[in-house]
Amino acid sequence: MHKRLVQHLAKVDLGSPGGLDALLGIVDQAYLEHDLERKRSERSSALMAEELEELCEKLHASTATIRLQNLRFQAAQDNMPQALSLFDKDGNLVVCNRRFREMYQLSEGYDPNGKKLLDILTHCVVHGPVLNLENRSLTLQHVAMNVSTGSVLEQVWPDGRIISIARSMIQDGGYLDTTSDVTENRKAIAQIAHMAHHDSLTGLPNRCLYRERLTDAVQHARRGEQCAVLYLDLDRFKAVNDTLGHPIGDALLIEVSARLKANVRDIDTLSRLGGDEFAIILRQLKSRDETHGFAKRVIKNLCMPYVIDGHDVSIGASVGIAIIDAWLNDPDEVMRNADRALYKAKADGRGVFRIAD
């Protein structure tokens, strides 16, 4: 007999009036409770299955979204001009983009993921061709970059490229390296700097650079160096421009620059101040008289005939000389002196030099 029926029978006295009814009542209740339990169990199982199915669908949708996001993220990474490498808190590579592989020219079969930066760079050094054993110090500098404060390192690689490496810390304790080829950028900056200080027609230092060099010369003169400024103006240049046109005039200025260059030393500064005005800062002169010979040579050279685009051209030059005395501390005063001397040279018939008093 089932133990529950035994329990039920123990509760009633079947011999007594109503005993059977009492037993039936208890058994009926037992059936009812059993049915209820079964219904609850079935209902909860069905609902749980429904819920789990809903969650499963959501999970699939989330997975698909994440996969798509990953593809987009990977595409964005791979099309970055910079090489990107992300390392975890233990220093193992977790993500790198295509540019990283290209920049370090990692061989096809080499998987850098999970490896430390030193191992990856050592692989590069051993297998080349970007980095080699002779330049191992470059890789060591890179590995030693500070993580906690973030830092930027600039290196010149063996092939001449200028490489900038920026390191920043990630929240989980890892770090992100961004490696960029900044060669073109640096060239452009150098070009802009050159343009800012040089005359675009002749390539000579312009007034801005001349001014800096003059200031430098004034400071050196105060410490005893003998320096002077030759302020030079071409005679009859305007007539050339007016009769033969500006292109010929420009070509003449280039030729004049070349002749002047041939006369100055590396320590001197030849500059075009504008139009047909030139200035030469002479440094480390042995005596003031040295400027006389120099001015004569310049005037003589510039007076020699020119053939520009088939045209015979003849011009002259007047020169004003200002000696930079030790007691002078104002470049403007030097220029004013030179200007006065030039004015005097022109007034005295051109083709001559005059020295400021």
Partner 1 sequence: MWAKQIDATADGFSSKQENLLGKTPDLIFLFEVSDAHDQGASVAQLSDIFPDVPIIGCSTGTIIEGDTLSDRGATAMAIGFERTHFRVATQAIGGSWDSQAIGLALGLQLQASDLSAVLVLADGLHMNGSALVSGLAEAVGSKVAISGGLAGDGARFEYTFVHGNRLSQSKLVAAIGFYGPAIRIAHGYASGWEVFGPNRAITRSEDNVLYELDGKPALDLYERYLGEEAAGLPASALFYPLQIWQPDQPDHKVVRTILSVDHDARSMTFAGDVPQAWKARLMRGRLDNLIESATDAAQLAMSALKKVGASLNPSLCVTVSCVGRRLLLGQRAEEEVKGVADVLGEGVAHIGFYSYGEIAPRSDSVLCNLHNQTLTLTLMAEAD
Give contact residues for partner 1 (rule: CB under 8 A): 4, 7, 26, 29-30, 33, 36-37, 40-41, 43-45, 47-48, 51-52, 55
**Minimum distance, C-beta of residue 76 to partner 1, in the bound complex (Å):** 31
Separation CA 124–CA 128 (nearest Å): 5
Contact 152, 182 (CB under 8 A): no
**Minimum distance, C-beta of residue 167 to partner 1, in the bound complex (Å):** 32
**Minimum distance, C-beta of residue 37 to partner 1, in the bound complex (Å):** 6
41 or 151: whose CB is closer to partner 1?
41
45 or 314: whose CB is closer to partner 1?
45
51 or 154: whose CB is closer to partner 1?
51
242: left (phi over 0), alpha (psi -120 to 50) or beta: alpha
193: left (phi over 0), alpha (psi -120 to 50) or beta: alpha
Helices (H), the chain: 3-11, 19-78, 98-103, 117-127, 136-143, 183-197, 207-222, 237-244, 246-263, 289-303, 331-347
**Minimum distance, C-beta of residue 154 to partner 1, in the bound complex (Å):** 44
Contact 138, 131 (CB under 8 A): yes
Complete edge-to-edge strand list for the sheet that includes strand 227-235: 269-274, 277-282, 227-235, 316-324, 353-355
**Minimum distance, C-beta of residue 9 to partner 1, in the bound complex (Å):** 14
**Minimum distance, C-beta of residue 64 to partner 1, in the bound complex (Å):** 20
39 or 265: whose CB is closer to partner 1?
39
43 or 89: whose CB is closer to partner 1?
43
35 or 90: whose CB is closer to partner 1?
35
